[in-house]
Chain A
Amino acid sequence: MLTIDRLLEALSQMLKYLAACLLVLVAGLIALDVGMRVLFNAPILGVAEIVANGILIVAFLQVSYAVRIDGMLRSELMVARLSGRPKVVFECGAALLGALLFGLIAFASWDSMVRAIVVQEFEGHVSFPIPTWPVRVAIVGCSVLAVLNYLMIVAKALLFGRLDHVGRGAPM
C-alpha cells in the first residue's frame, strides 16, 4: 500500500509542477497580450479564452497536492485540541467527506467529459474555437486522484495511525 502512496505522491508532485508551468504560461500570455495591444495596437486572438480555461486546469492540477499537504483552508479550533485516537477518527471523518465531495464532482462531470470527447465539442468565438475536453478531462481525472488521496489518508490513519498530511501546509 505504501507503494501506491509513493506513486500518488509522485503523481501529485508532477501535476503540481505541470500546474506551475501552466501558471507561468498564463502570466506570460497576458503580459504579451497587453504589450502587443499597448505597443502595436494588435491584441492576440483567444488569450482571454486560453487564460480562463488555463486557470481552471491549474486549480484542478493542484488539488491532489493540496489534499496531501492539508492545504485546504480550515479552522484549527478542534484539531489543535485533539491528539491520539480521537484525532485519527476526526481526520478520517474529514478525509471521507473530501472523498465524497470530489467523488460527486467526478461522477457528476463524467457524462459531459465523455460527450466532449465523442462529439469533439468546441466553444468560444468562431474565429478561435477551443476544444472543451482538456478542461473536462482535468476536472474528472484530478477529482478521481483527489478521492484516491483522501482514501489513502484514511487507510494510513486506520492501519498505521499515521497522519502525515496534517500540518504540512502552513496557514495562508
Chain B
Amino acid sequence: MGGPEFAIAIVSILIALILLSVPIVLALGLCSFFGIAYLTGNWSIAGSLLANTTYEAVRDYVFAVIPLFVLMGEFISKSGAAADVYSVINKSMKRLPGRLALATVGGNAVFGAVTGVSIASAAAFSRIAYPQMVRHGYDKSVALGSIAGSASLGMLIPPSILMIVWGVMSEQSIGKLFVAGVIPGLLLTAMFFTFIVGYAWLKPHLFGIGGSALTTIEADLDCLATRSELAGAFGVAILILTVLGGIWFGVFTPTEAAGIGVLLSLALALMKGVDFRGIREAILETGRISAPLLFLLITAQMYTRLLALGGIIDAIQAMLLGIGDSPVLILALMVLVWFVLGMFIDSVSIILLTVPIFAPLAITIGYDPIAFAIIGIVAIEAGLLTPPLGLCVYTVKSCVADPDATLAKIFMGSIPYWIILLLLVAIIATFPGLATWLPSQI
C-alpha cells in the first residue's frame, strides 16, 4: 500500500511530467491510473475506476457553469463593452494622476464581474488601454504592468472559474465562494488604486505627466462619454446586478445565473452590433476554452481517488506538520508552493493538483475553508505574474503588437502588483472575516 515513499514517488513523477511539458490532463490521468493499478495490484480495478470517473466526474448540472460563464464573458468581450466601461471610468476620473492606469484597474474590476477568466481581461485591456497609455506618454513598463497586474481582479471578483473549480475540488458551495470574493476583490482594487496614485504622484514622468503629451491629454480624454459607451456600461451594470444579485439573494443557483447571464450578454452583444460571425466565434472560443477544463476536472477526480487510496494526503500532511505545527508557518509554506507553481503552470491545474491535499490540512490547522480558498486564489494569481512563465504576462505580450513591449518590461512592470497580491494574502490570513463575513450573511 501507499505511505510516504509512494506519496513522494507519485508527486515527483507528476511534477517531472508537468515540467517536461506533458499536458497536465495526461500527466494526472496516467499517474492516477497506473498509481491505482500499482496500489491495488489489479488492472481491472484501475480500469473500472477510470471508466466510472470519466462517466460520472463532470456529469452534473453544476458543471454547466464553466462553459456558460466562459460564454457570457466571450459575448461581452465581442460586444466591446470592456472598452465602454474603460472609457466611462476614465472620463469620470478627471484630474487624478495616472488616470489611464486607474481606469485600467477600474475597468478590470468591473469586467472581472462579468467574466470568469483572468486571461480574458488581460487580452481585452492589452488592446484597449495599452495604445492609449503609450499615446499619452506613459512609460511602457508601467503601462504593461498595470494591464497584467490588474487582470488578476478577474479571478477574484465573481464569477470566477477558479472559484468554481475550487468549490468542486473541496466540496464547498460555489455561490458562497463567489460572494466571499467580493470584499477582497474591492479591497484589491483599492490597493491597486492607492499604489498607482502614489506612484504617479512620486514619479509623474512615468505616467505621461509633465511631458509634451500633457497638452493633448486633457482635451483628448475629457470629452463626454458617448451614448453608445454609456449604453455598453449600463448593459454591463445590469448584467452584474442580475447575475451576482440573483446568486446573492438566492433567486438563482450559480448554474441558473450563468444561463441567464448568457442570454443577457447575447442580447447586449446583439444590441452593440455584433454580427452572426462574432457570435459564432464567441461560441467556438467557449468550446476551445472549456473542453480542456472539463477534461482536467475528470482526471483530477481520478487523481483525488489516488490520493485517498494511497494515503498520500495523510503522508504529505504529516510531512508538512513535521516541519512545524505553527499554522502561520504551514500557511506560508502552502502560499510558497502556490506562488512557485504559478510561475510554471496555469491556475486551474494548480488548484487541481494542490487543493485536495491543502484544503483538509487548512481545516486541521484551524483556517476557515472559505477564507483559505480566497487566500489560495490570490496567491496563485500572484504567481501568474512572475517569471519564467507567468501566464498573464505572456497573454499581454501576445496581445500587444508593439515590438518594444518585451517580456522583461512586462515582468518588471508587474512586480508591484504581485507584491500587492501577496500583501492581500497576508491581510486575509490575519483578518479572515474579510472573506467570510459576506457569505455568512446569505
Residues in A lying within 8 Å of B, measured CB to CB: 16-17, 19-20, 23-24, 26-31, 33-34, 38, 48, 51-56, 58-59, 62-63, 65-66, 69, 71-79, 90, 93-94, 97-98, 100-101, 104-105, 107-109, 112, 135-136, 139, 169-172
- Chain B's interface size range is 35 or more
Rounded to whole angstroms, the CA-CA distance of A1 and B67 in the bound complex is 35
Rounded to whole angstroms, the CA-CA distance of A138 and B180 in the bound complex is 37
- Assess A73 versus B59: contact at CB under 8 Å? Given A24-B283, A63-B291: no
CB atoms of A34 and B252 under 8 A apart: yes
Residue among B25, B26, B50 with the highest chain A CB neighbour number at 10 A? B26
With a cutoff of 8 Å between Cβ atoms, the chain B residues found around residue A90 in the complex are 20-21
Distance to closest chain A CB from B24 (angstroms): 5
Rounded to whole angstroms, the CA-CA distance of A107 and B50 in the bound complex is 10
* Contact partner, A20, options B21, B284, B349, Cβ 8 Å: B284
Main secondary structure of the interface of B (DSSP, over half): helix
Residue among A19, A29, A62, A90 with the highest chain B CB neighbour number at 10 A? A62
Rounded to whole angstroms, the CA-CA distance of A132 and B318 in the bound complex is 43
With a cutoff of 8 Å between Cβ atoms, the chain B residues found around residue A17 in the complex are 284
CB atoms of B55 and A112 under 8 A apart: yes
- What's the A-B contact tally at a CB cutoff of 8 Å? 189
Q: Which residue of B lies closest to A82 (CB)?
A: B21
CB atoms of B349 and A73 under 8 A apart: yes
Apart from A30-B256, A72-B292: 18 A-B pairs, beta carbons within 8 A: A30-B260, A31-B259, A59-B298, A72-B23, A72-B24, A76-B21, A77-B19, A78-B21, A79-B21, A90-B20, A101-B25, A104-B33, A108-B50, A108-B54, A135-B55, A136-B55, A169-B288, A171-B346
CB atoms of A38 and B251 under 8 A apart: yes
Q: Which residue of B lies closest to A48 (CB)?
A: B61
With a cutoff of 8 Å between Cβ atoms, the chain A residues found around residue B64 in the complex are 26, 30, 51-52, 54-55
B77 at the interface (CB under 8 A from A): no
With a cutoff of 8 Å between Cβ atoms, the chain B residues found around residue A33 in the complex are 256, 259
CB atoms of A73 and B23 under 8 A apart: yes
* Contact partner, A78, options B20, B25, B348, B394, Cβ 8 Å: B20
With a cutoff of 8 Å between Cβ atoms, the chain A residues found around residue B348 in the complex are 73, 172
CB atoms of A112 and B51 under 8 A apart: yes
Residue among A33, A34, A53 with the highest chain B CB neighbour number at 10 A? A34
| 243-286 of chain B: CB within 8 A of chain A | 251-252, 255-256, 258-260, 262-263, 280, 283-284, 286
Q: Which residue of A lies closest to B344 (CB)?
A: A75
CB atoms of B291 and A58 under 8 A apart: yes
Q: What are 9 A-to-B residue pairs whose CB atoms are below 8 Å?
A: A20-B287, A26-B68, A27-B263, A30-B255, A52-B64, A112-B51, A171-B391, A171-B395, A172-B346
* Contact partner, B394, options A26, A79, A171, Cβ 8 Å: A171
With a cutoff of 8 Å between Cβ atoms, the chain B residues found around residue A23 in the complex are 67, 71, 283, 286-287
CB atoms of B51 and A108 under 8 A apart: yes
B367 at the interface (CB under 8 A from A): no
B345 at the interface (CB under 8 A from A): yes
CB atoms of B59 and A74 under 8 A apart: no
CB atoms of B68 and A27 under 8 A apart: yes
- Assess A109 versus B21: contact at CB under 8 Å? Given A19-B287, A48-B61, A73-B292: no
